Amino acid sequence: MEIEKIYKENGAYLHGHFLLSSGNHSEYYLQSAKVLENPALAGELASQLAGVIKDAGISYDSVCSPALGGILAGYELAKQAGKRFIFTERVEKIMSLRRGFEVKKGEKFVICEDIITTGGSALESAKIIESLGGEVVAFAALANRGFCAVANLGNSRHESCKLPFDKPLFTLGNFSFEIYEPNSCPLCKNGSVAIKPGSRGN
Ligand code: ZN
């Protein structure tokens, strides 16, 4: 399945003028929740992703996702691959493992997101798993936002990618579109105002 086509068909590839959580602006925004609101489709995508990881010869015990965005994708991946699933969440901006979730010494994890942008949240989750004695063997996401190198796609790595060099990232596709700093945003120059995704029913 073509991931870009799926995002477009499900109203998840938004066109407009968006204020991203990084403070930058973009003409496009990926709203993965619109894809994952369909559990059958979510299962199908996660099944493909599980297959990509398996084909690469990666063996793992569990999947961990950073809340909130990663939970649906990670849960479906764990379900399709027959693994355990836990998630990390931010408590006053600090990524934490709560709710009685435990990590066994040597337990092998795949860290799963919906979209990997620079991979910052995924990396924070990985650090928690490793600090508790687990081993992160790979990262995974439904799609890559064009900044990180994807093992199964072979695209190049941008300097803003935060994921470790020594662990592979697997995704079903790669989205590549420009983001702008507010003072050099061509959309702002045309007089439009950036909106926060989700603030106008999107
Ligand atoms: Zn702008």
Tens-digit pLDDT profile for residues 14-63 = 999 999 877 899 999 999 999 999 999 999 999 999 999 999 999 999 99
User: Residue 52: inside a domain, yes or no?
Assistant: yes
- Quote the CA–CA distance of 68 and 173 in Å, as a whole number: 21
Return the pLDDT at 199: 61
d(CA 177, ligand 1 centre) in Å:
14
- pTM value? 0.93
Q: Residue 201: which pLDDT band, with cuts at 50, 70 and 90?
A: low
d(CA 20, ligand 1 centre) in Å:
10
User: Residue 15: inside a domain, yes or no?
Assistant: no
For residue 129, how many C-alpha atoms fall within 13 Å in the half-sphere facing its CB? 29
Strand partners, 29: 14
d(CA 58, ligand 1 centre) in Å:
41
For residue 46, how many C-alpha atoms fall within 13 Å in the half-sphere facing its CB? 28
Return the pLDDT at 197: 86
Q: Which two tokens stand for residue 29?
A: 């925004």
Which residues form the domain of 108?
42-178
Check which CATH number belongs to the domain holding 70 and give it: 3.40.50.2020
Please state, as a whole number, how many other Cβ atoms lie within 10 Å of the Cβ of residue 99.
Answer: 8
User: Residue 74: inside a domain, yes or no?
Assistant: yes
User: Residue 195: inside a domain, yes or no?
Assistant: no
Q: For 103-140, write each residue's pLDDT tens digit.
A: 999 999 999 999 999 999 999 999 999 999 999 999 99
User: Residue 110: inside a domain, yes or no?
Assistant: yes
d(CA 27, ligand 1 centre) in Å:
8
- Quote the CA–CA distance of 27 and 15 in Å, as a whole number: 6
User: Residue 134: inside a domain, yes or no?
Assistant: yes
Please state, as a whole number, how many other Cβ atoms lie within 10 Å of the Cβ of residue 126.
Answer: 26
d(CA 112, ligand 1 centre) in Å:
30
Note if the bond before 163 is cis, omega within 30 degrees.
no
pLDDT, mean over the chain: 94
Overall domain count for the chain: 1
User: Residue 202: inside a domain, yes or no?
Assistant: no
d(CA 184, ligand 1 centre) in Å:
8
Cβ contacts of residue 168 below 8 Å, gap of 6+?
56, 58, 138, 139, 151
Q: Residue 200: which pLDDT band, with cuts at 50, 70 and 90?
A: low
d(CA 143, ligand 1 centre) in Å:
24
- Quote the CA–CA distance of 175 and 193 in Å, as a whole number: 24
User: Residue 108: inside a domain, yes or no?
Assistant: yes
